[in-house]
Amino acid sequence: MTKKLILFSSIFAFLIFLTGCQSLTVLDPKGPQAETTADVIMTSIWTMLIIVIVVFILLIVMLVKYRARNQADDYEPPYIKGNKWVEIICVGIPIIIVIFLSVITVKSTYEVEGKPKGYENDEPLVIYAASSNWKWHFSYPEENIETVNYVFIPTDRPIEFKLYAYGPIASFWVPQLAGQKYAMANMVNTLNLAATEPGEYMGRNASFTGEGFAEQTFNVTALPPADYQTWIEEIQATAEPLTEDKFNQLLEPGRLGQETYTGTHLEFSPPPTTHHGAKESDGTENTEQEMNDSMEDSMEN
In a domain, 14, yes or no: no
- 86 and 209 together in one domain: no
Looking at the structure, do residues 31 and 170 belong to the same domain, yes or no?
Answer: no
Q: Which tens digit of pLDDT belongs to each residue from 155-201?
A: 999 999 999 999 889 999 999 999 899 999 889 999 999 999 999 99
pLDDT score of 208: 85
In-domain check, residue 28: yes
On whether both 253 and 199 belong to a single domain, the answer is: yes
Whether 1 is covered by a domain: the verdict is no
Give the C-alpha separation, 156 to 138, whole Å. 20
With a CB cutoff of 8 Å and minimum separation 6, the contacts of 36 are: 108, 111, 112, 117
- Stated pTM of the model: 0.77
Q: What is the dihedral of CA 91, 92, 95, 101, to 10 degrees?
A: -130
139 and 268 both lie in a single domain:
yes
Question: Would you give per-residue pLDDT tens digits along the chain (301 residues)?
Answer: 566 556 556 665 555 555 444 467 888 899 999 999 999 999 999 999 999 999 999 999 988 887 777 777 777 877 877 788 888 988 999 999 999 999 999 999 999 999 999 898 999 999 999 999 989 999 999 999 999 999 999 999 999 999 999 988 999 999 999 989 999 988 999 999 999 999 999 999 988 888 888 888 999 999 999 999 999 999 999 999 999 999 999 999 988 889 999 999 999 999 988 877 554 433 334 434 444 444 444 444 4
Name, in order, each residue with C-beta under 8 angstroms of 205's C-beta and a sequence gap of 6 or more: 131, 134, 136, 170, 171, 172, 173, 213, 216, 217
In a domain, 9, yes or no: no
* CB environment 237-263: b (16+ within 10 A), e (fewer): eebeebeeeebeebbeeeebeebbbbb
Same domain, 178 and 39: no
Residues 105 and 166 both lie in one domain: no
Specify the pLDDT at position 16.
53
Domain co-membership, 107 together with 133: no
Assess if residue 99 is contained within a domain. Answer: yes
- For residue 179, is it within any domain? yes
Same domain, 91 and 210: no
Q: Are residues 131 and 166 in the same domain?
A: yes
Total domain count for the chain? Answer: 2
Beta-carbon contacts of residue 297 (< 8 Å; ≥ 6 apart): 185, 186
**Domain CATH number, residue 230:** 2.60.40.420
Task: Count the Cβ atoms, other than its own, within 10 Å of residue 169.
Answer: 19
User: What distance in Å separates the CA atoms of residue 7 and residue 4, rounded to the nearest whole number?
Assistant: 5
Cβ distance 136 to 149 under 8 Å? yes
**Side chain identity at 33, as an amino acid letter?**
Q
Has residue 11 been placed in a domain? no
- Examine the domain organization and report whether 27 and 96 are in the same domain: yes
Distance CA 260, CA 231 (A): 12
Q: Do residue 101 and residue 155 come from a single domain?
A: no
Residue 12 lies in a domain: no
Beta bridge partners of 136: 131
Residue 108 sits in the same domain as residue 145: no
51 is in which domain, residue-wise? 23-65+82-113
